Structure 1
Amino acid sequence: MSDLELRHVATLAAVADEGTFSRAANRLGYTQSTVSQHIAALEKAVGGSVFDRPGGPKPVRITPLGAVVLSHGRDLLERTQAMNDAVDRFKAGEGRIDIGTFQSVSNVLLPLVVRRLREEHPGCDIRLLEDESDPPPIDKVDVMFYDGRVDGDVEHLKLLDDPYLLVAPQGAFPDGPVRLTELHRAPMVAWPPTCDQPRVERMFASSNVEPRIVFRAAGNEAVLAMVRSGLGSAVLPRLVLDSVTDDPALTIHDLDPSPPRREIYLLWQSGRTHSPLTHQAIHHARDVAAELVEQFRA
């Protein structure tokens, strides 16, 4: 059976379907002698006749051994065709991609990337993993959005700088920048002391400013809701505030001095071969980030 070839199985199926070697040859685009050679090679491989040949114009009849080979052979041909179709779809960008993300990217940048991928490749399979652990689980995804560089065998593509801004209830501060010193002992809503929050609190500490934290919540919407209620102000990255720039209950201010900006990267494992869909995702992430930067400047 080691000499059994897929093309011989395909010829077996064609002869069984068409009833004669000549019609099978026409269907496959072979000469009749080539069909005969394929069937002879197949019979040698399986150790017996797969067709009874009555001769003349009468159709050939499949033998019991041929029926066994044909039954399994059709399954093999179908699976091979399915594999070929899957490979073709993969090469065309219709495969699967796993993308790691975090909260503010999930709300602003990532939806634009996903929309463009699905417009180009409606049949693609996009899986998203929102994970803000440190270090991020880059080995579980094809690419991952992350707010910083990480050590190890990781490729980094910087997408944008995300400035920290002050969001406050309407009327809490005059228009224009707010000095950090004005936030000393002022009520503030904040994230838990994980992710970006330690960076924000180190910024305050370096300026000898100690806001009065009155509420902590992991969800951006919960933080903004509490600011909107008048409970306090919050220092959040620009991406988080994208959906509230026109909210009449809130005002957004630059800080003076301006804090160091959060850096947003796209990460993937070094030495990894990308699928065409992953290449497209990286391309779109770069373009969308550039468009957001221009939007922020406007």
Structure 2
Amino acid sequence: MTNLGIKERLGQRAAVVEKFLTTSLDDRGIPERLRASMDYSLLAGGKRLRPVLTLAWAEMLGGNVDAVMPFAASLECIHTYSLIHDDLPAMDDDDLRRGKPSNHKQFDEATAILAGDGLLTEAFGLMCETSTVNGLPADRVLRAIAVLAAASGAGGMVGGQTVDMEFTGRDNVPLEELREMHAMKTGALITAACECGAILSGADDEHIENAREFGKAIGVAFQIVDDVLDVVSDTETLGKPAGSDEEMGKSTYPSLIGLEKSKELAAEYIAEAVERIGEYDGENQQFLADLARYIVDRVY
């Protein structure tokens, strides 16, 4: 068992994903400027949380990490596309992302839109490679694709962004409606990352349910902590404008229940997530438990 801290272990796993991402879009005939725009955001850093979760669940349940890698990378492509589009003037209108100019600022709005479109579409090609190139059973891959498509689409991440925009500037959004919105906008992709890893490993429905419920719990906690950090952190640390939620009139957990209750609620969800993986053991189980705790530790 490694003695490294969770940030170092997450960094090691993220570096493996990063290496794959650098060549994942090669030999696809992508025009030079469009590829530059796609790479600008895709390779801009970040924790690679979603692909790392997919790989950790797959490996913990006996799957082949190398075979699952293209599918894991597809989650980062989808996540990155969503960030590019979220930053656009018509959406959140943010000029900074991961400490660098947003894609539409570095290039232009049309190129940024097309880069997001390209990343979303290429993601499904990567998912298919899990079977067509790496040989995983097609039924597993099709099931995982269906889960990720639902999580990414109008009933998931895209729908959540729509509701978030509807909530902007609205007073007294009920906590349950805020939770449902975040479950779509942020939580759905995190949940799918875990669930797809379990599916691709060939695990049975009980293990897949554990992965799904673990993902749901940390997805909620992740969003709560993001809301808290927008209040208590600074732009340099966040890599994006601090205080933008309040400035835009967004409904957040701190605005509804306060900072301390938000932290307590996040901790409750993390405890629920850790309980879900109590029956497992080994390095991946310890990594997932420590990663879950780290999500909340970021605000202390």
Which structure: greater strand fraction?
Answer: 1
| The two structures share one fold, judged by TM-score above 0.5 | no
Interval of TM-score (by shorter of Structure 1 and Structure 2): under 0.3
**TM-score scaled by structure 1?**
0.22
Structure with bigger gyration radius: 1
